[in-house]
Structure 1
Amino acid sequence: MCAETPDYKDTLFLPETEFPMRAGLPAREPGWLERWNRIGIYDRLREKPGRPPFILHDGPPYANGHLHIGHALNKILKDFIVRSQQMMGKDARYVPGWDCHGLPIEWKIEEQYRAKGLDKDEVDVVDFRQECRRFAEGWIDIQRDEFRRLGITGNWADPYLTMDYHAESVIAQEFMKFLMNGTLYQGSKPVMWSPVEKTALAEAEVEYHDHQSHTIWVKFPIIGYSDPAFDADWIALQAHPNYRSEDVGSFPSDRRVELTVEVMKARNAEWQDEVRRILADNPDYFSLKDAKVVIWTTTPWTIPQNRAVCFGPDIAYGLYRVTEAPEGSTAKPGEAVILADALAESVAAAARGATLERVRDVSAEELGALTLAHPFRGIEGGNGEWDFDVPMLPGDHVTDDAGTGFVHTAPSHGDDDYQIGLKYGLPMTYNVLEDGSFRPDLPIFGGQHILTSEGKEGPANVSVIKQLAYAGALLAKGKLKHSYPHSWRSKAPLIYRNTPQWFAAIDHKLDDGMGTYGDTIRSRALTSIDQLVKWTPQTGRNRLYSMIEARPDWVLSRQRAWGVPLTCFVKKGAQPTDPDFLLRDPAVNARIAAAFEAEGADAWYKPGAKERFLGDDHNADDYDQVFDVLDVWFDSGSTHAFVLRDRADGSDDGLADLYLEGTDQHRGWFHSSMLQACGTIGRAPYRGVLTHGFTLDEKGNKMSKSLGNTVAPEEVVKQYGADILRLWVAQSDYTADLRIGPEILKGVADSYRRLRNTMRFLLGNLAGFSDAERVDPADMPELERWVLHRLAELDDTVRQGFDAYDFQGVFQALFNFCTVDLSSFYFDIRKDALYCDGPDSIRRKSARTVLDILFHRLTTWLAPILVFTMEDVWLDRFPGEDSSVHLQDIPETPQAWRDDALAAKWAGLRRVRRVVTAALEIQRRDKVIGASLEAAPVVHVRDKDVLAALKTVDFADICITSAIQFTGDPSPNEAFRLPEVDGVGVVFEKADGQKCGRCWKILPDVGSHAHAETCARCNAALG
């Protein structure tokens, strides 16, 4: 180009936008939050009429600490759903809530008291509860700000709190429904107990960690054999004419029947010698009287509470004799033991390599006829505590997977044991106190701790093992590392302990008029899981179903102070089985509910409360007031009643469209809500359940402060902004565990920048666009109509993805569209027309019309995910105090835009384009050309249909070359090819002509027009 060539830069329609390339999210996001609050976005959305409701009921986080990355994941997913459903035409209300009662807060206040030298038990209970309330209020304010900073929409001005007076009143009323419908009962049974926290725990409050336990193999002596069938057979045999009492009188009494049969079978003079030979060859075959039954346990401290030994009726057992016992082994040569055959070898190994010889089978009938002695029977210092018979009982829970095939049974310290105890009338023991110690008057072991108040092992296990050794009852001992229950709050090990607790009987038949889905809580829950709830992912159904199918009754009571009390009274002197044990009076219940509504649950603890609630209808001296508090899972399980049912912004039918929490809530909130609602409304309180995985570090390890691999939401927001954290959630498969860390976040930030550049291109090239420019799709070039086709496809993908909560799928589809279809293809091609065509060019107006359509769809499709960035994009184009992308709906996309034939044609064109651009890239790499506009390649295409299609479009524009030629001739050897695109070859040729000073295309006509050094198109544009 000569020196006199004019500078045409100012004649181009270059992008105009103040939208910054650098987002500056950490500094700018708080301003948008303040703006949304100022213009009342959430309330304005509620004013849109005629929209069907969509209710995502918030599972309440606990109000006792800063948010962790799991909180962020959970709330961001909820926000994706609420915002996307709202933008698809629903009235998506979201009421955030908090769980406020319970042990963690109570514990914090106790710690504060201890630091001040105060004794909690000496503080007035109402004052203590007020301290707990203030503690929770402080953390609610902190967490609310932290959640809002993540861009979470919702009714933050009026959240729900389980400690609100109305909530406490409703929780009490929901409990009293259990009281009135007969499901509430007081039982003495083993429950998970925390000696550290001195309270019972529900399964939802238990987590499992590796723990090293003592293991012992204990010998129970056989002291009797009784079988009614044996006695009847013996009487019949005595009446047989061949029977002679003097011949069998010396035989072992427990096998006389069998021996007498042998005698009768002989029928000859030598029969006595034959019987004596059998006895001599098999000295242990006919008698079990000297044998011992061996059990195995990982809880030696439960041996003093043993009341039975269980066997498996279908397990193969044998009588074994110890033939050799190495030095140091507690096994004794010559002693006989009964073991499951599958486990005899492992028992011998545990006894330091003792040698066992199998003598004979032992049948289930024989085992059931045995009576055992407790291993501490007659022990010195035992004072007769254990001088009772121990029965052998069949149990379906017994296996031969580990141990000995026999289960030592302590009904007070295990659910299987308890069920066996109920079935066979075994006595319960009360040897273990609330602090994890044995009762002081228990012989030998009195006062010894199983677990200390710090959660450490006490002396009880070792003491029991030593006494078993002294008694000669220890066959072997060892240690085992295994999964063991721990409190999820104190992280300390738990024990099963028999205590009087209040339970909800989930198999109690209900006559409450709500039997559509079953007549018990369990049957209603299982039917709800199968028929009424949509599970995302579907595996959630199986998990909750199996849990509820097998679970025991619900332990409702806790021995604490901060919570909603079990608002019931029991008759003094009555037994739990007596009909009048519990007071069931609707008038009393109504007084309690009214008092709680006005004063909160503190009313239960104020002086004169019993007299106030019982009124003149009942003599207060005849009743005891229950002061246990409800399991906090009952609180949160009841939220459907005071949030979905009672609030103006709740649900029209009292049900939620969705509950969404982590997978741990199958044993937590999903579970307790299901049980609670099935007892009070007859079905699940939700129509859908979505579960997400846990958060891990980049290497897939569990996050831990001690490992230094935690990722705090606050730090991510400070460094990158909340939208990056939200984008990380959108890019992840939340149905599995999610990884996060510095390198992952860098990758997320890179994806964000690419999306931001797409939106910036739209804004820059839409400057000054108005409806006057708009072109009807029918009048657009094929390329624009292809983009509209893609938008119609994507509209289905986005809507279906949002409805299926598949945010990863939605984001991947949109990201690929933006980066591949738009930035690398459509935008790349249409830059020339947008910058260089004249204002009246149908091509340019069509492109700007499509950019406007893209703008409205991409901003609304991405707004639920990138809440701050899409607001930034929207306001750049539509500023104004009341303007917000979050007040918009996703625009309807005409299905008429779909054109599958056109899409198939352009798929073929794009395949050919790939070969051309790859061929030119080699020329650019080799510095033959500097830009693709310097090229005019020859394209050899074998397929006639594709060749014909290429000739219907301006393929030079599509390949961003100045010219292009097509031929059906075979590709020459030097032609460039791509293996994956068969039948296409490209021969490079340079463009012929001069470079246009305005559009930079190299064309033969440049220099022949009025405007110097321009092509015909640019000359016309300049006028």
Structure 2
Amino acid sequence: MSADTRADAPDYRDTVFLPQTDFPMRAGLPAREPEWLARWARIGIYDTLRKGAGERAPFILHDGPPYANGNLHIGHALNKVLKDFIVRSQQMMGRDARYVPGWDCHGLPIEWKIEEQYRQKGLDKDKVDLVEFRQECRRFADHWIDVQRDEFKRLGVNGKWDDPYLTMNYHAEAVIAAEFMKLLMNGSLYQGSKPVMWSPVEKTALAEAEVEYHDHTSHTIWVRFRVLAQGEGGTADISQPTIEQVPEGLGDLVHASVVIWTTTPWTIPQNRAVAYNPDISYGLYQVDSLVETSTATSGELLVLADALADSVQAAAKIEGWTRLRDVAVSELDGLTLSHPLSAAEGADGEWNYPVPMLPGDHVTDEAGTGFVHTAPSHGDDDYQLGLKHGLKMTYNVEPDGTYRTDLPIFGGEAIIQPDGKDGPANVSVIKNLAWAGALLAKGKIKHSYPHSWRSKAPLIYRNTAQWFAAIDRPLEDGMGEYGSTIRARALTSIDKLVKWTPQSGRNRIHSMVENRPDWVLSRQRAWGVPLTCFVKKGAKPDAEDFLLRDPRVNDRIIAAFERDGTDAWYRDGFKEQILDGVVDPDDYDQVMDVLDVWFDSGSTHAFVIRDREDGSPDGISDLCLEGTDQHRGWFQSSLLQASATKGRAPYKAVLTHGFTLDEKGMKMSKSLGNTILPAEVVEQYGADILRLWVAQVDYTADSRIGKEILKGTADSYRRLRNTLRFLLGALAGFDDAEKIDPAEMPELEQFILHRLAQLDHTVRKGYDAYDFQGVFQTLFQFCTVDLSAFYFDIRKDALYCDAPDSTRRRAVRTVMDILYHRLVTWLAPILPFTMEDVWLSRFPSESDSVHLRDFAVTPADWLNEPLAAKWDHVRRARRVVTAALEVKRADKTIGASLEAAPIVHVEDPEMLAALKSVNFTDMCIVSDLALTSDPAPNEAFRMSEAPGLGVVFELAEGQKCQRCWKILPDVGSHSHPGVCARCDEVLSHG
């Protein structure tokens, strides 16, 4: 019979229980999110949660402070949103999750900005009162803290925004000074003159955490160091000796030159030795023939590592040479050389000293010549070798990267210019070496080279008097549970006390700490916490009384900083005030360097975690989360600082994320025009879309973002929003009286509860493991596959057409209520604005919020594995039926699945029994369906992934019910015209 609708059929639309909701399809997030922010501020979400914490176990995520300097970039957004995911999810899982945001406020970048402002106004920084200059820096930081705070809050990040921590707050400054003075008292602080990473542009020492490596093209030179004959001075000509009798014990080496290779020609004037490795094989080579442009000399003798001889021959354009013999280590031991600049014109005797050859394990035969030119003032290996053998330090390089003006030949020449470009020093040294006959070859090399991560300018190693924390010196503090030195405590903490996620983070920081030098604490700047110590006038740094160590002095400094901040240190009379009655102030100098800002941030565990009411008395946080670059930055400075002052790491776990890249995987930069600003994303899409992007990426690796990626994110959001909108509509008017016990529910509803029990475990486990990508993908798949394409699709008929008091419809709505509560709370940490909207759409209130709720406890008896196994059969069979119907829909045989009455052939007895035990007709959304164990005919529809199943298409017989649209034989035979028996009963009792 025809299934067409009769023209005179009654209109039953008003009798169908369609979803009803005002929740809009279009989110309008950019316009609406600020309203929720204002609402949360009125409610005081963060403080309300703290007041209601009761006996909850605390969970403290310690915020690594961003720098108060400029608008936020997308990396800031990734970082803060991840932190918010963690804090919100831990709170909703039953903990008292505390998050105090903070800012790094001192340091060079701010100071640099103020200096730029001064230069633009024609002012000289050095002529401005130091305290006034520091207050200018403070005002600059204050401005950017306010800007960044608003930008972070706009992302939906919940925290103690009205009372953040600032490293420039008076209490923070007092604690930083107090932590520094613990180093003073426990013996780890010392002043040393040694090479440190130095920025000529910024005129200050830098810590390793402030150094980044970029490709840089450097000059390379191969230089002859002529062997000195016995009794010969340091000024002998570089050309070969013509003596006929070889001095006893020296052999033919008196005619030779030891060849070194370096990528820093400017360090040659500071050379004090040449190093060799006793484990390397060396040979004596005689030059036979040359390329026309070679700077080598025919017949000259050169001493080289055999493994590198070919590369030297090519660089020096030597056409042919002869290896005369091995050069034994015993011959090199104690050999002295002439400095290559000793014969340079204008040297004025500056380099008239013998250059010893010394053994060093750091020498390799991987590149160069197998000999290392050693300038103790300009490299750590060189310094260590010089320390061991008593080499003299040089002081030829000024803070601005120029040679001292009275240095012969090179005085005043710049190594690095103020604009960060190479100065003339390298070329000048190369030319003078050539004129002196010491240059064997030259070239250029592109290699990784240290740069300041602030100014991006190249750095140099420079010998200066600096203050250090000795990381291998036993500490006098009685906190030796995890080791007696800073390094030992840090390594023990890394291996035994801290959980690293991902685990590769442990290897990264362990290697860095294991091999790092002493910590350079001092900076030659103005804006920061001063090194609060006094040194005795005339005393040497290694003297026992060099540093003033007195608890009374320390206490007075701390009290002054608590009251007036660190500006007090720079006011006239402070030294006299602090030292009065303890020692004679005239006997001591006040140190005026400022602390490395990494010491500031490394001390935050003390004034944030330890000292605040919302912290923890032991000063140990549960988690720190920052980018992977912080293994050399804040993670490490916190670890070293706490190891020195509290004996262990100040955190229990460390989680790291990667960097943000554009859609092509390129690093973002303004010059490339590929930057994505958080504010722009929020303005176009809303903060929840940006947060959803964070939830969809694998943040442990580098993450890509761009217009097309954000479009995909917005599409996922719309699909999820539609699921929630359907739930809201389906639950219109639902109340507790309608609820039904799970035991009374149909199997399909019990199966959905089983899936929710599984999800509850997965979601909690995922949030605890900080696997937000896994949590979201699990919930998204559940919403789109389990709900929209399966459960909702099947139960729309019962929801729309069953009687309101029917068991099946009540069960559906009860399950939907459960789904609603769980989905909204599970997704709230990721999409706080949208879930608040969904919550208030159903439960409007002036004081309530989804963010004041916890994840609901899931009854254990919802898990039902036998039922799940049975419904796995149902779902697999259903997929085959719906695929078969889709074919008929595509070829226009039918317009809707309710026009079908398929015959399903099932070979598997267990599956057949499962299908017969449920209303498989309703599961497939057809009007009729037959199940049979007969073999499927050849024309049956099959799917390779479902062997033993075949579907034969048949049209449904009967008329179309004008209410539920099923095609059934009984339509038209009931009291209400044009409806089926089920709909007739609903109408009769309506």
Question: What's the TM-score once normalised by structure 2's chain length?
Answer: 0.97
Equivalent-residue separation in structure 2 for 1:428 and 1:417 (angstroms): 10
SS at match of 1:869: helix
Sort the Cα spacing of 1:353 and 1:1006 in 2 relative to 1 into closer, same or farther, 3 A. farther
68, 72, 76: which one aligns with 2:77:
72
- Residue number in structure 2 paired with 1:104: 109
- Residue number in structure 2 paired with 1:238: none
Equivalent-residue separation in structure 2 for 1:344 and 1:925 (angstroms): 76
Q: Which runs of 4+ in 1 moved over 3 A?
A: 249-256
- Residue number in structure 2 paired with 1:635: 600
The answer as to whether partners of 2:187 and 2:476 remain within 8 angstroms in 1 is: no
Residues 1:605 and 2:574 are matched in the alignment = no
SS at match of 1:811: helix
- Residue number in structure 1 paired with 2:32: 28
The answer as to whether partners of 1:700 and 1:739 remain within 8 angstroms in 2 is: yes
SS at match of 1:442: coil
872, 877, 899: which one aligns with 2:842:
877
Residues 1:342 and 2:342 are matched in the alignment = no
Shift of 1:356: 2.9
- Residue number in structure 1 paired with 2:887: 922
The answer as to whether partners of 1:255 and 1:287 remain within 8 angstroms in 2 is: no
- Residue number in structure 1 paired with 2:542: 577
Question: CA offsets per residue over residues 542-572 of structure 1, 9 Å max, x none?
Answer: 1000000000000000000000000000000
Equivalent-residue separation in structure 2 for 1:119 and 1:219 (angstroms): 47
1:592 counterpart letter in structure 2? I
Equivalent-residue separation in structure 2 for 1:852 and 1:753 (angstroms): 21
- Residue number in structure 2 paired with 1:162: 167
Q: Percent identity at matched positions?
A: 74
Question: What's the TM-score once normalised by structure 1's chain length?
Answer: 0.94
Residues 1:890 and 2:890 are matched in the alignment = no
The answer as to whether partners of 2:334 and 2:358 remain within 8 angstroms in 1 is: no
Shift of 1:364: 2.0
- Residue number in structure 2 paired with 1:726: 691
Shift of 1:398: 1.0
Matches within 5 A, 1:981-996: 981-996=946-961
- Residue number in structure 1 paired with 2:8: 4
Residues 1:221 and 2:226 are matched in the alignment = yes
- Residue number in structure 2 paired with 1:412: 377
1:74 counterpart letter in structure 2? N
Residues 1:305 and 2:261 are matched in the alignment = no
Equivalent-residue separation in structure 2 for 1:584 and 1:540 (angstroms): 38
Residues 1:44 and 2:9 are matched in the alignment = no
Residues 1:841 and 2:846 are matched in the alignment = no
SS at match of 1:917: helix
Shift of 1:185: 0.3
Residues 1:954 and 2:938 are matched in the alignment = no
- Residue number in structure 1 paired with 2:89: 84
Residues 1:706 and 2:711 are matched in the alignment = no
Shift of 1:389: 1.1
- Residue number in structure 1 paired with 2:240: none
Residues 1:542 and 2:547 are matched in the alignment = no
Sort the Cα spacing of 1:570 and 1:942 in 2 relative to 1 into closer, same or farther, 3 A. same
1:211 counterpart letter in structure 2? H
Shift of 1:365: 2.1
- Residue number in structure 1 paired with 2:177: 172
364, 378, 398: which one aligns with 1:433:
398
919, 933, 940: which one aligns with 1:968:
933
SS at match of 1:789: helix
Residues 1:145 and 2:150 are matched in the alignment = yes
- Residue number in structure 2 paired with 1:282: none
- Residue number in structure 2 paired with 1:116: 121
2:92 counterpart letter in structure 1? M
The answer as to whether partners of 1:98 and 1:162 remain within 8 angstroms in 2 is: yes
SS at match of 2:254: coil
Shift of 1:871: 0.3
- Residue number in structure 2 paired with 1:493: 458
1:7 counterpart letter in structure 2? D
Residues 1:209 and 2:214 are matched in the alignment = yes
Equivalent-residue separation in structure 2 for 1:839 and 1:254 (angstroms): 115
- Residue number in structure 2 paired with 1:532: 497
- Residue number in structure 1 paired with 2:99: 94
Equivalent-residue separation in structure 2 for 1:773 and 1:862 (angstroms): 26
900, 905, 911: which one aligns with 2:865:
900
The answer as to whether partners of 2:621 and 2:652 remain within 8 angstroms in 1 is: yes
Shift of 1:616: 2.0
SS at match of 1:301: helix
SS at match of 1:223: coil
- Residue number in structure 2 paired with 1:677: 642
SS at match of 1:289: helix
Residues 1:295 and 2:254 are matched in the alignment = no
Matches within 5 A, 1:241-256: 252-255=246-249
60, 63, 67: which one aligns with 1:62:
67
The answer as to whether partners of 1:172 and 1:593 remain within 8 angstroms in 2 is: yes
- Residue number in structure 1 paired with 2:532: 567
SS at match of 1:616: coil
Equivalent-residue separation in structure 1 for 2:183 and 2:254 (angstroms): 52
Shift of 1:254: 4.0
366, 371, 375: which one aligns with 2:340:
375
Shift of 1:353: 4.7
- Residue number in structure 2 paired with 1:232: none
2:45 counterpart letter in structure 1? I
Shift of 1:56: 0.2
Deviates more, 1:929-938 or 1:901-910: 901-910
Equivalent-residue separation in structure 1 for 2:298 and 2:832 (angstroms): 78
1:183 counterpart letter in structure 2? S
Matches within 5 A, 1:684-763: 684-763=649-728
The answer as to whether partners of 2:229 and 2:247 remain within 8 angstroms in 1 is: no
Question: CA offsets per residue over residues 489-521 of structure 1, 9 Å max, x none?
Answer: 111111100000000000110131211100000
Shift of 1:526: 0.1
SS at match of 1:357: strand
Shift of 1:251: 7.5
SS at match of 1:94: strand
Question: CA offsets per residue over residues 996-1020 of structure 1, 9 Å max, x none?
Answer: 0000000111111111111111111
The answer as to whether partners of 1:588 and 1:615 remain within 8 angstroms in 2 is: no
Shift of 1:373: 1.1
Equivalent-residue separation in structure 1 for 2:809 and 2:248 (angstroms): 106
Equivalent-residue separation in structure 1 for 2:973 and 2:364 (angstroms): 97
SS at match of 2:8: coil
- Residue number in structure 2 paired with 1:198: 203
Equivalent-residue separation in structure 2 for 1:1021 and 1:189 (angstroms): 92
Equivalent-residue separation in structure 1 for 2:931 and 2:318 (angstroms): 86
Gaps of 5+ in 1: 227-248, 257-285
Shift of 1:772: 1.0
Equivalent-residue separation in structure 2 for 1:140 and 1:679 (angstroms): 30
Shift of 1:359: 1.5
Q: CA RMSD in A?
A: 1.2
504, 507, 510: which one aligns with 2:475:
510
Shift of 1:363: 2.1
- Residue number in structure 2 paired with 1:236: none
Sort the Cα spacing of 1:944 and 1:442 in 2 relative to 1 into closer, same or farther, 3 A. same
Residues 1:467 and 2:432 are matched in the alignment = yes
Equivalent-residue separation in structure 1 for 2:746 and 2:845 (angstroms): 35
Equivalent-residue separation in structure 2 for 1:330 and 1:782 (angstroms): 91
Equivalent-residue separation in structure 1 for 2:278 and 2:36 (angstroms): 70
Gaps of 5+ in 2: 232-242
Equivalent-residue separation in structure 2 for 1:353 and 1:967 (angstroms): 91
Question: CA offsets per residue over residues 132-153 of structure 1, 9 Å max, x none?
Answer: 0000000100000000000000
The answer as to whether partners of 1:329 and 1:354 remain within 8 angstroms in 2 is: no
- Residue number in structure 2 paired with 1:651: 616
The answer as to whether partners of 1:514 and 1:681 remain within 8 angstroms in 2 is: yes
Deviates more, 1:316-325 or 1:485-494: 316-325
Deviates more, 1:121-130 or 1:344-353: 344-353
The answer as to whether partners of 2:169 and 2:565 remain within 8 angstroms in 1 is: yes
SS at match of 1:832: helix
